[in-house]
Amino acid sequence: MDFELSEEQRAFRDAARAFARGELAPHAAAWDEGKIFPRDTIAAAGALGFCGMYCPEAVGGMGMTRLDATIILEELAAGCTSTAAFISIHNMAAWMACTWGSEQVREEFCQQLVTGEKLASYCLTEPNAGSDAASITTRAVRDGDDYRISGGKTFISGAGSTDVLVLMTRTGAPDSGAGGITAFAVPADAPGIDYGKNETKLGWNSQPTRAIAFDAVRVPAAYRLGNEGEGFKIAMKGLDGGRINIAACSVGAAQATLDLAQVYVQERRQFGKPIAAFQALQFKLADMATELVAARQMVRLAASKLDRDDPDRTTYCAMAKRFATDIGFHICNEALQLHGGYGYLREYPIERFFRDARVHQILEGTNEIMRVIIARRILEAGATETIR
């Protein structure tokens, strides 16, 4: 197995790193403080191809591998984790629309989604359907050439500030479970859609988070993604990629805080010498670096499994998401500790990375659900052979 990046991947990495340092990092604190959604900056990322990374080339996407995308997202997250995380969600939603959308969806939405001129939100979670996504109740009822959609979603990233909602609804009977779910691409300004307040959150302040209510929203049947009943399959395929995307964002946040800590411990002096001279802190840095490399390699392994359509891709994506988001937050926390009281101040970026990385252990399926996915696979007959 070759762990080295190709020349093309290094070019992607370098472009993303330059964008993160020049366009994200200098503004991240102001976006966080002011709860500013930087649409213009995201559009600039789209001009570089970062808003349609793995969307089909037929609609103007870059057609990258998932491994390529994780390399880019890691670099972007080191500049502003919150904004990079939204870009990762947009990519997931845009990919769903551009892969399963009708010709009308592709013509009306996709060409602008891949450039970042239009942005997408992913709408799955409901007040009573979080980890149990198959229990959603938002309903789409056929009405001639249209559907009428009623219900509500919650914790929707970008809601109220995006242009397209990739929406999971129930078209089957109330007890139809996963097989009764259908996906749609819905214009975000359609009559009958109402947005709640922008939630006050611990982190992720550069992207709004709102509830959405749908009151008999009329949606053309041409906006359906795939066939009726295929929505859960589409959602789960999207989440495999979404999980490694958010894992990559955790790795990027962790790398940024490790870099900051490495500089700080050599500048900060106590007892007549830099605190980097104390072996206890050297050991802490060594552990942080080791864990970071392990998390990065697990993310890239899972991405390569997804690219190859490996039978155990979902298990590996769950492993990578669980490990990298836990380790990423741990490294941010350790970096804050190394900064002492200064790490707790808004003046230093450490506390923002710490806050932004925390939610990664919750979204795209909580890490407890990741453990359920992994354990179920391990307990299947002969499954242990597949993870060696």
End-to-end CA distance of the chain: 14
Residues 95 and 84 in one domain: yes
Query: Catalytic residue numbers?
Result: 364
Q: What is the 3-state secondary structure (H, E, C) of 143-211?
A: ECCEEEEEEEEEEEECCCCCCEEEEEEECCCCCCHHHHEEEEEEECCCCCEEECCCCCCCCCCCCCEEE
Residues 136 and 208 in one domain: yes
> What pairs with residue 225 in β-bridges?
183
Q: What is the CATH number of the domain that holds 193?
A: 2.40.110.10
Number of domains in the chain: 3
Residues 124 and 195 in one domain: yes
Q: Is the pTM of this model over 0.75?
A: yes
Last residue of a domain, one of 60, 82, 113: 113
Residues 39 and 127 in one domain: no
Last residue of a domain, one of 113, 133, 167: 113
Interval 81-117: pLDDT, tens: 999 999 999 999 999 999 999 999 999 999 999 999 9
Amino acid letter, 359: V
Interval 117-167: pLDDT, tens: 999 999 999 999 988 888 999 999 999 999 999 999 999 999 999 999 999
Residues 285 and 383 in one domain: yes
Residues 61 and 131 in one domain: no
Residues 223 and 317 in one domain: no
Has residue 1 been placed in a domain?
Answer: no
Last residue of a domain, one of 54, 87, 113: 113
Q: What is the CATH number of the domain that holds 362?
A: 1.20.140.10
Domain encompassing residue 78: 7-113
Residues 147 and 242 in one domain: no
Has residue 148 been placed in a domain?
Answer: yes
Which pLDDT band holds residue 3 (cuts at 50, 70, 90)?
Answer: confident
